[in-house]
Amino acid sequence: MSNLMRIYNRGVRPSSLFDAMLSDFWPMFTSRDTLPAAGFKVDISEGDDSYTVYAEMPGVPKEAISVDLRDGVMTIDVTRDESEENQEGGFIHRERRASSMQRSLYLKNAATEGASAAMDNGILTITVPKAVKTPKTSKIDIL
C-alpha cells in the first residue's frame, strides 16, 4: 500500500494505473475512445511516380476523416462526437464523448491535384502523385 501511496503522491491516480494494467490484456475494455491515445499508425511507401499512405483507423467512419494536402504537407484529421442516451426504469443515463486526432506528413514533390483516398476494413489508403519535375536550367540560344 505504501508503494501505491508514493505513486499517487507523484500525481499518478490509482485508477489510471489500473487502466494501464488492464489495457495490456484487454484493450477493448479500457479504451474510452476508438482512437488510441498515442495516435493512429501510418505507413508511407514511395514509388517512382506517387506516394501511398496507409493509416490504420478501425471503427472510424469515413465521414469523420478529413485529408488535406498543402505545400507538400498532408494532414489527416479525425474528429468524432458521440452521444448516447438511455432511459430505463426512471433513470436517465447520458454519455458524451468528443475526440480528435491529427497527423501531418511531409511528402516531397507531392502534386496537389490527382490524389485519391479509399477506406477499406479500417485502413485508409491515400495515393498522392508526385509533381512533374521541370528542368531547373534551360539553354538560351543567342541570336
| Predicted local confidence at residue 8, as pLDDT | 41
Is 60 in the same domain as 23?
Answer: no
Is 43 in the same domain as 25?
Answer: no
pLDDT band at 124 (very low <50, low <70, confident <90, very high): very high
- Sign for the pseudo-dihedral over CA of 104, 107, 113, 119: negative
Is 92 in the same domain as 64?
Answer: yes
pLDDT over 50 at 33, yes or no: no
The answer as to whether 140 is a domain residue is: no
End-to-end Cα spacing for the chain: 91
| Predicted local confidence at residue 25, as pLDDT | 54
Is 115 in the same domain as 47?
Answer: yes
Is 4 in the same domain as 51?
Answer: no
Whole-number Å distance between alpha carbons of 68 and 75: 5
Residue given cell 508511407 in the structure block: 44
The answer as to whether 134 is a domain residue is: no
The answer as to whether 41 is a domain residue is: yes
Q: Which residue has the higher pLDDT, 84 or 28?
A: 84
| Predicted local confidence at residue 139, as pLDDT | 78
As a whole number, mean pLDDT of residues 120-127 equals 94
The answer as to whether 138 is a domain residue is: no
50-80 pLDDT, tens digit each = 999 999 988 888 899 999 999 899 999 998 8
Segments forming the whole domain that contains residue 14? 1-31
As a whole number, mean pLDDT of residues 122-142 equals 86
Is 9 in the same domain as 40?
Answer: no
Query: Which DSSP string do the residues of 57-120 spell out, in sequence order?
Result: -TT--GGGEEEEEETTEEEEEEEEEEEEEEEETTEEEEEEEEEEEEEEEE-TTB-SSS-EEEEE
Is 26 in the same domain as 41?
Answer: no
The answer as to whether 93 is a domain residue is: yes
- Spatial neighbors of 25 by CB under 8 A, at least 6 apart, are none
Is 19 in the same domain as 42?
Answer: no
pLDDT over 50 at 81, yes or no: yes
Number of domains forming the structure of the chain: 2
- Looking at residue 84, which CATH number applies to its domain? 2.60.40.790
83-114 pLDDT, tens digit each = 777 777 776 777 777 778 899 999 999 998 89
pTM: 0.62
